[in-house]
Structures are given as structure tokens and as C-alpha cells.
Amino acid sequence: MYIPAIPQLWRPAAYALALTLSATVGCSSPDTSASGAAASSSSDSTATNGPAAPTDSPLQVVAEFREPQIVGVAVLPDGRMFGDFPRWDDNPVAPVAEIGTDGSVKPYPNAAWCQWNETTRNEPQKHWICPQSVYADKTGMLWVLDPASPGIKGTVPGGPKLVKIDPKTNQVVQNISIPEGVASRKSYLNDVRIDTQNNYAYITESGVGSLVVVDLKTSNARKLLATHPSMMGDTTLNIKADGHEMIDASGKRARFNADGIALSQDGQYLYWKPLTSYKLFRIKTEALRNAALSDAQLAQQIEDLGKVPACDGMELDAANNLYMTTFEDHSIKRRTPAGKIELVAQDPRLEWPDTFAFTADGTIYVTASAIHKTPTWNKGVGKQDQPYRIFKMALPK
């Protein structure tokens, strides 16, 4: 899941959710309280209807939001859907939300968790600060990863956390604080996969460039392979979206470290890649769980799987096809176990396809977060010309 490298100042845009705001109450930023007026676009966006759907597109719109920006999606076995709206350029009312079948957005697990303001600063472990990822594990539990770095300007002390929620009760059942020695002030915990068989979590960390491995039995977190070449974005690439190179307001070329992550269905391999890179890597999870191995010893076990497209989110199906949100050409592709790259779907509405959620019935959900059209990459002016969306499609054979 992408993060912006050098953000604009974190500001409360005149955001709104186009479908509904009736349920989105109770959250605020450290700087301002949230507003509740519906709007068709943010104050710094030039919004139109955006690209049209191709007649042969397999993608079906599940939900759409004019603002704020959605990044992650998770879908439970019973069909309940959740999204996360990190505090980047916008100030979301519901940074983690349950998304109803009617498009309604409800703060999750409750309004108190969504509050982050002057009155809650002394409780960083009890509130969503800048949640980056939502993930449903194989047992139906919901996990939220919060790097706690609003505006990507540095982590809030004591804020980085991995939180487990039981959707049956809508209660937090495990809250793991990631210490500063693992998630430094410059870190950004990005995406997570849960190994329910071995009771471990594997996390990509994009700020420094590392993997974080968490023993869920003990809540012990370890930082691994920090700044290893497999974790670092390639500074020689000219990553593009909509045909335009990603350059920030200061003129710096986009460089994003360890980002996409996927766990094989049998739990034996963890795959990852830096976002600004055309290389894919994997390692046996058994090695990651072995605390006796040094980074140098781990590095010897990393497998370079060769060239793949630049992508953001990743996920593996039961046949070990690796699906990728390939944002440079508005598409979803997959890499077969033999290394062949296949086109799954291409649709101009996939404005920076971001994060996947796969369900047991063979459905793929994917968000379109339009990262390249946010103010960070457009000299402070939002260029988003369509709603942020969640799509779904059938898993291809």
C-alpha cells in the first residue's frame, strides 16, 4: 500500500463522503474538529466525472467516495466490508470504517477509537492516528495497522500499533504496541499479513525500508533487513502514472521502499517489493520466525524472483498466482508460479489501483486511491476527477 514520500502540510480539507455522511460522526484531527457537510469535491480539487467504464470491463463499483481518500479494504466471510482512510492530505471523520451495502460509512469499532485531538493525545494506543491497512485473516478477525504518522511527518510517540478486532462483538481483543526501536520516528508501517497457523504477523515498513515480524503470542516485534537492497526503492527509475513522472513539489523523484506484501496460502513464503522497483522478492517465513538468525543470515535466504511491473498492493490465490495492482497503466496483473505476467483487468477507472481483498467465494475487491492526483504530486493542487472507489470482480480461472 502506497505512502506519499514528502507530503503537503496535513490540513483539514473540506472533505465529504459523496454517498453519505449521516453515520460518520465522532472523529477529529489533532488540529481541528471534523465537519459534516456533504460536498461533491474537496476545496483543492478540480473534480469531474472522470474516465468512463469500458464496455468489457469486469469491474463492478461497490462503493465510491468523493472525499476523503480511501486506501485499504477488507471483506469478512459474512460479506461485511471495511475501509481505511489515512490522515494524509485529508482529515477523515472515520479513519477506519465499516462500509454498508448502501454505501454508508460508520466509524469502527466505535466513535471513540476514531477520535484524535488535543483531548486524546495522551492515549495514542486507544485511537486511530493514521491507519494505513485493514486486513481480514482466515479466521474472520479484522486487523488494523496504524503507523501513527499523520501527514507522514513522523510517528506520534507510543502510537504505532497493530490491533485485532473481533467483528462478532466489535471489540478490540489484542492491541500490540510497536516500540520505537522497531518503528522509529521516520518509519511508516505500511501493510500486514497474518499467519494464523503460526500466530505471526508480517509487516512492510516503508519509511526506513524494512520488514517487521510480530509474534502474536508474546506481542514481541522485531525489525528485520532494514535498508537491505530488497527493501529499498530504485532511485534510477522514472515511475509514472497517467504517463507522468511522479515528482513532488520540491522537484524530487518518487522513491518508495518496501510496500506490497503477500503471504502464500500455505504460509510458507512471504513475498514483498518496494513500490518504486521492478523486482519481486520472497523468503521462507520459517526464517523470519527464527530470532536466532542475523540480518546477514536472513539476506542469504532472500530469493530474487526477477522483473515484475511496478505495483502497490499484492495478493496470492490458492494456485500461487501473485496479483498486483499495476498503477502505471490502470491495470491488475498477475504473475504465475512460472514467472509469466498476465493481464487480468485494465480499466481507466483504476486510478492508482491500491489494495486487494480476496474472499473465499472467489471475489477480488480492489481500491482506487488516485495517489498520483493528490496535492502532494501536483504542486499542492488536487487533480482528482472521479470518486475514490472500491471495485469487485470474479477471480479469473
Question: Running DSSP on this structure, what letter comes out for residue 34?
Answer: P
Question: Running DSSP on this structure, what letter comes out for residue 389?
Answer: E
CB neighbours of 89 closer than 8 A, spacing ≥ 6? 7, 8, 10, 11, 13, 69, 151, 374, 375, 376, 382
Which tens digits make up the pLDDT trace of 318-364? 999 999 999 999 999 999 999 999 999 999 999 999 999 999 999 99
CA distances from 192 to 6, 229, 308 (A): 23, 20, 21
* 281 within 8 A of 305, measured Cβ to Cβ: yes
**Cell 471475489 -> residue:** 363
Residue 226 CA, distance from chain mean position: 20
Mean pLDDT of the chain: 88
Q: How confident is the model at residue 48 (pLDDT cuts 50, 70, 90)?
A: low
CA distances from 278 to 111, 237, 310 (A): 41, 9, 5
Residue 75 clears pLDDT 80, i.e. is over it: yes
Predicted structure pTM score: 0.88
Residue 364 has phi, psi (to 5 degrees) of -105, 130
What value does the CA radius of gyration of the chain take, rounded to a whole number of Å? 19
Residue 148 clears pLDDT 90, i.e. is over it: yes
Question: Running DSSP on this structure, what letter comes out for residue 264?
Answer: -
Which region, left, alpha or beta, applies to residue 231 given φ > 0 means left and ψ of -120 to 50 means alpha?
A: alpha
What three-state secondary structure class fits 285? helix
* 147 within 8 A of 189, measured Cβ to Cβ: yes
In whole angstroms, give the CA distance from residue 171 to residue 107. 13
List of domains in the chain: 60-394 (2.120.10.30)
Residue 54 clears pLDDT 50, i.e. is over it: yes
In whole angstroms, give the CA distance from residue 159 to residue 143. 16
Question: Running DSSP on this structure, what letter comes out for residue 289?
Answer: H
Which tens digits make up the pLDDT trace of 83-121? 999 998 778 999 999 999 888 899 999 999 999 998 999
Angle at 257 between CA 310 and CA 297, to 5 degrees: 110
Q: Cis check for the bond before 387: say yes or no (omega within 30 of 0).
A: no
Question: Running DSSP on this structure, what letter comes out for residue 284?
Answer: E
Residue 221 clears pLDDT 80, i.e. is over it: yes
